[in-house]
Amino acid sequence: MFLKSLKSKIFIGSILLATAMSACDSNTILKDNYNIADAKWFIKDTPEFEFNVDDTTMTYNVFYNVRNNRSYPYYNLYLTHYLSDDKGKVIHQKLDELVLFDPSTGKKLGEGLGDVYDHKILAFKGFSFPKKGKYKIQVKQYMRQNPLADIVSVGFTIEKAGIK
């Protein structure tokens, strides 16, 4: 009897935990990463991510997701993003400098264990999508090194920020 009651409590607890975890993520409309083969990012490689916008009354924050090895040879990373609508028209683009290590001390920024670090860095905030529908965001590296070594993955997170 006790074991059956314990199993029921564990099952109900698991359902509540899963519900709570999914509720925490309800403001995220995109969280996706592209794994870079052998951690060598070639200039010709332009990862792209598609997503839907269903609510144009909200503003959105767009973040870069970057995972790098400790042996990455620079303190920064230059990226350009291209945000396109469903017709392929670029509606936002910008060259950004992402700082991955402190330039004076070399201390790692971001989170991680061992030799791999994760970064979530704001690309642009408070963006208003002009209409509902499908969008695509692409990213290119602009480090003038081909291939760029020790970048493990790159991607985007797009979150609801608030009402316009």
Amino acid letter, residue 13: G
* Weakest mean pLDDT among 8-22, 45-59, 81-95, 133-147: 8-22
Q: Which helix (H) or strand (E) holds 10?
A: helix 2-24
Q: How far apart are CA 105 and CA 12, in angstroms?
A: 49
The per-residue pLDDT for range 145-160, each reduced to its tens digit, is 999 999 999 999 999 9
pTM summary value:
0.82
Domain locations along the chain = 28-163
Do 47 and 66 touch, CB atoms closer than 8 A?
A: no
SS in 3 state form for 102-122?
CCCCCCECCEEECCEEEEEEE
Token pair, residue 78, equals: 């230059």
The per-residue pLDDT for range 90-103, each reduced to its tens digit, is 999 999 999 999 99
Q: Which CATH architecture has domain 28-163?
A: Sandwich (2.60)
